[in-house]
Amino acid sequence: MAWTYLDRSQPFGFAHRGGKGPAPENTVAAFAAAVDIGYRYLETDVHRTADDVLVAFHDGGLERMAGLSGGIADHTWERLSEIKLDGEHPIPRLSELLDTFPDARFNIDPKADDAVDLLIETIADHQAIDRVCIGSFSDERIAKVREALGPRLCTSPGPKGVFKVLGAAKLGRRWDPPYGCLQIPVRAAGLPLDSAKLIRQVKALGLQVHFWTVNDADEMNRLLDRGADAIITDEIELLKDVLASRGHPV
């Protein structure tokens, strides 16, 4: 299947949580900075508030980013909207990001089971099926979103799905996986996942191969040399330079 979300024929980059820059991760300002230097693909995470608002935030708790106790799920949107990260930047809703960056494509990780129904609703309300890819450490969450939104939705497998994809790839099985891409770390459980042979085998199944989270230029180049389709990074300026040196836009 041809995935509208994955219409890039050349290697490209994802700004992981907006990337390291002038603003805290997962804020409108962080994503704006990435878009301003050319990023079209943005990665974020979502949690559900106590009163059913879907916000872009990685952690379940507020301590690391805001220095506050409690979790996203413990607070109402009214309370969370008063918080300013680094004294300036509000926590955004996913709907706000989709509206603010209409030409961007989002890789979205629903971090908790209770976020899934609201994620489905938000994607449908914004007619954003072709603008999003869903990835998670929960195969069940991914399957639920795909079942609700249909086969046009691009997804990356969770841990069980990754194992199935890698097994089929290594054995050369004929299989039409329901995923658009395989988003994986360079190593998992002590095993390397970045060999050129394995990347070729996965791509033979019709999946793009994306690696996260890569913040070193030598490693970026090595993965691209081996056939990676995309790199997910915090170091958005660095990856832009690496891709430019290879003749690719970010």
Distance of CA 124 to the CA centre of its chain: 18
- Contact in structure between 139 and 159 (CB atoms under 8 Å): yes
- All residues at 6 or more sequence positions from 189 whose CB lies less than 8 Å from its CB, including other chains: none
User: What residue has token string 């603008």?
Assistant: 131
Q: How far, in whole angstroms, is CA 214 from its chain's centroid?
A: 13
CB 178 within 8 A of CB 196: no
Beta bridge partners of 41: 14, 105
Residuewise pLDDT in 10s, the chain (250 residues): 778 999 988 999 999 999 998 899 999 999 999 999 999 999 999 999 999 999 999 999 999 999 999 999 999 999 999 999 999 999 999 999 999 999 999 999 999 999 999 999 999 999 999 999 999 999 999 999 999 999 999 999 999 999 999 999 999 888 889 999 999 999 998 889 999 999 999 999 999 999 999 999 999 999 999 999 999 999 999 999 999 999 999 9
Residue from 16, 75, 89, 210 carrying the catalytic annotation: 16
* Domains of the chain by residue range: 11-245
Instruction: Place domain 11-245 in its CATH homologous superfamily.
Output: Phosphatidylinositol (PI) phosphodiesterase (3.20.20.190)
Please give the Cα distance from 51 to 2 (Å, whole number).
Answer: 37
Q: Decide if 47 is catalytic.
A: no
Q: Do 220 and 238 touch, CB atoms closer than 8 A?
A: yes
Measuring CA to CA, how many Å separate 181 from each of 10, 176, 225? 14, 12, 18
- From 47, 58, 75, 89, active-site residue: 58
The pTM assigned to this predicted structure is: 0.96
Clarify whether 16 is annotated catalytic: yes
207 DSSP 8-state letter:
-
